[in-house]
Amino acid sequence: MVKIVELKVLDCSDLVCPLPVAKTKKMLNSMQNSEILEVKGDFSEAGENIKRFAESHGHKVVEFKLEGENYSIIIKKK
């Protein structure tokens, strides 16, 4: 049996730090363990900060992409 997991998406476009990290934290706090969150934005420093935040809080960064200033991070909540 295959378990289907809903992917939650958080768009942080046009936001600069600390807002993307704060919004990511709030979203993760509202999620159940093992749920998946994708965070997208267009300020690369925020992407790096979100990645560090997630890892330092025990979440798994499944994927991290940077293309110019655009970023996409897939996080599995611990």
Catalytic: which of 17, 27, 36, 61?
A: 17
Q: Is 12 a catalytic residue?
A: no
> At 21, which amino acid appears?
V
Instruction: Report how far residue 25's alpha carbon sits from residue 1's, in angstroms, rounded to the nearest whole number.
Output: 32
| Catalytic site positions | 17
